[in-house]
Amino acid sequence: MEHEHKQHLLTPNQMAMADKAAVAAGVPAMDLMAAAGKAVADAVLARWSRCSVLVLCGPGNNGGDGFVVATLLHSAGWPVRLAFLGSMEQLSPEAAHFFHAWQGDVEGYSVDVLEQTDLVIDALFGAGLTRSLAGKARDMLDEIIARDIPVCAVDVPSGLDGATGAAFGVVAPAELTVTFFRKKPGHLLFPGRALCGELVVADIGIPAAVLEALDIQAWENSPELWYRDYPWPRLDGHKFHRGHALVYGGENMTGASRLTARGAMRIGAGLVTLAAPIKAWAVYATALTGVMVAKLEQSQEAEDFEELLLDPRYNAIAVGPGAGLVGFERIRTRKIVLAALVTGRATVLDADALSAFSGDPQTLLDAIVGPCVMTPHEGEFARIFPEMNKSPEMNKNHRDDKLTRARLAAKQSGAVVVLKGADTVIASPDGRAVINSNAPADLATGGSGDVLTGFIVGLLSQGTSQGMSPFNAAAAGVWLHGEVANTFGAGLIAEDLPDHLPKVLSAFKTRLFTFKK
């Protein structure tokens, strides 16, 4: 539990509740602010050499943290100026205390203070921001951007929504952001992730026990969340115990489903069968060695696929990569998807399996009866959930909020939704969500999604009853996929992903022992 706690993501509201709970548990609010300010000052001292600093303090407790930072950097011998946007009377008792502790001048709040500033400490607004910045607050940010002055943000860059990662309006990108206690979704979701720069999470003395009462439903993806369920081969195991994944392969883009099949093999499916239309059968059979290839006769591919599925040993199915969308292929892809779903067995739907239901997504959503993982990128997501951003449940300020969209999609469909991108969100129909943060840009390469589908179906084939839930299998697949790309480095192509996985799995296995201690 202790490890998982580190991955918790708190919304700004939950963070305010954590703050209150800590105070109720006996931690003085003054100490929290002092610790927050010290954490920021320490991080600045560790990264920058002595330079001329301007601390911009806002009207709330984010500004309070700023007063502390100013005092500490001044004590460290740095030239510090402070500008305050707010009124003394409205400061909280803690912020007022640290305002009075500041020995220097308080500059007028105008863009002129940016003259001869080498570094800005942005303590204007943090978790309390609820709308776009206007007037003087906004002008200052515009000018910081125009002058390209380095920024260290306190908690979040001012103007960033900690819940969604969206900008309320203008945001000055930070080189460093120091946040407190736990991350927020907005630190991981784009554009927030890019606007934060380097992110430091500082312990300010809030006891982890306050998390219990917060009903947290979002985590940063990490093995701590799912390693207990990871299906390591057992000594007494047999290939049949490790499941049998069935992958549908289309007629033209045969590379895609081959990558899926290879991904499933590498991640530990006991057996993988690729079922392909007879026209393409020879291509598959020649190219694949460890993977079996089943023939689907012309014009009765879906029926043959159904017949294959009469064999209960196929316990996880993947459809989508290279399935085909042109002309009659689209109808065939739809039939294959529905044949897979009606079995109620664990199914992963990707790419064409989703796009084939464009214009008629309800047919797909109604057919989901068993464990299912959908892995759309944004384009595919829009085809299956075209009205999502109009939903009354969407955040009114940020209708493109990825976390909420993925959660609503999971709830509506009953499937685990993996909404892909540089900040992939994995959402469960029960409201839990994981945000992935380990994917490097190298992963944006053709075929990488096909391998991800393979990783997930391979994990699912190893048993959803005793083994991984679809939610955990999806989170594990996405994390391992990112980790492989990270450890492989530059020059990555999709083929490398399955083949480099064993190295990552070995390292992960070693790490597992440290988790268990």
Ligand X SMILES: NC(=O)C1=CN([C@@H]2O[C@H](COP(=O)(O)OP(=O)(O)OC[C@H]3O[C@@H](n4cnc5c(N)ncnc54)[C@H](O)[C@@H]3O)[C@@H](O)[C@H]2O)[C@@H](O)CC1
In the complex, the residues that contact ligand X under the rule CB under 6 A are 15-16, 18-19, 32-33, 36, 58-65, 125-133, 137, 154-155, 180-181, 204, 206
Query: In sequence order, what are the residues at sequence separation of 6 or more whose Cβ sits closer than 8 angstroms to the Cβ of residue 363?
Result: 334, 338, 357
How many other CB atoms are found less than 10 A from the CB of residue 458? 33
Q: How many residues does the chain have?
A: 517
3-class SS at 485? helix
Closer residue to ligand X, CB minimum distance, 206 or 218: 206
411 labelled as ligand-binding?
no
Query: In sequence order, what are the residues at sequence separation of 6 or more whose Cβ sits closer than 8 angstroms to the Cβ of residue 180?
Result: 15, 32, 35, 36, 39, 155, 201, 202, 204, 206
Q: At 44, which amino acid appears?
A: V
Nearest to 316 by CA among 455, 427, 410: 455
- Smallest separation (angstroms) from K ion to the CB of 137: 11
Closer residue to K ion, CB minimum distance, 122 or 442: 122
CA distances (Å), 444 to each of 70, 157, 185, 253, 449, in order? 42, 27, 22, 19, 9
What is the DSSP pairing of strand 176-180 with strand 314-319? unpaired
Q: At 258, which amino acid appears?
A: R
100 labelled as ligand-binding?
no
482 labelled as ligand-binding?
no
Q: Do 10 and 201 meet the contact criterion of CB atoms below 8 Å apart?
A: no
420 labelled as ligand-binding?
yes
Nearest to 372 by CA among 428, 324, 424: 428
- Omega before 191 cis (within 30°)? yes
The tokens describing 134, both together, are 């206007």
463 labelled as ligand-binding?
no
Q: Which does 130 bind (CB under 5 to 8 A by kind): ligand X, K ion, none?
A: ligand X
350 labelled as ligand-binding?
no
- Smallest separation (angstroms) from ligand X to the CB of 117: 21
- Interatomic CA distance for residues 329 and 326, integer angstroms: 5
132 labelled as ligand-binding?
yes
- Smallest separation (angstroms) from K ion to the CB of 124: 5
127 labelled as ligand-binding?
yes
CA distances (Å), 297 to each of 252, 278, 303, 307, 471, in order? 16, 5, 9, 12, 35
- Smallest separation (angstroms) from ligand X to the CB of 197: 17
Q: Which does 205 bind (CB under 5 to 8 A by kind): ligand X, K ion, none?
A: none
Query: In sequence order, what are the residues at sequence separation of 6 or more whose Cβ sits closer than 8 angstroms to the Cβ of residue 366?
Result: none
Closer residue to K ion, CB minimum distance, 61 or 472: 61
- Interatomic CA distance for residues 180 and 176, integer angstroms: 13
126 labelled as ligand-binding?
yes
421 labelled as ligand-binding?
yes
Q: Which does 122 bind (CB under 5 to 8 A by kind): ligand X, K ion, none?
A: K ion
**Residues in the site for K ion, rule: CB under 5 A?**
122, 126, 153-154, 158
Q: Which does 463 bind (CB under 5 to 8 A by kind): ligand X, K ion, none?
A: none
494 labelled as ligand-binding?
no
Q: Which does 131 bind (CB under 5 to 8 A by kind): K ion, ligand X, none?
A: ligand X
- Smallest separation (angstroms) from ligand X to the CB of 5: 15
Nearest to 114 by CA among 72, 147, 151: 147
Closer residue to K ion, CB minimum distance, 64 or 270: 64
Closer residue to K ion, CB minimum distance, 199 or 336: 199
- Smallest separation (angstroms) from ligand X to the CB of 149: 20
- Smallest separation (angstroms) from ligand X to the CB of 30: 9
- Smallest separation (angstroms) from K ion to the CB of 36: 11
Closer residue to K ion, CB minimum distance, 68 or 318: 68
Closer residue to K ion, CB minimum distance, 66 or 477: 66
Closer residue to ligand X, CB minimum distance, 19 or 450: 19
3-class SS at 207? coil
CA distances (Å), 131 to each of 168, 170, 250, 354, 460, in order? 6, 11, 49, 36, 43
Give the nearest residue (CB) to K ion: 158
Give the annotated binding-site residues: 61-65, 122, 126-132, 155, 158, 256, 322, 377, 420-424, 449-450
Give the annotated binding-site residues for (6S)-NADPHX: 61-65, 126-132, 155, 256, 322, 377, 450
Give the annotated binding-site residues for K(+): 62, 122, 158
Give the annotated binding-site residues for AMP: 420-424, 449
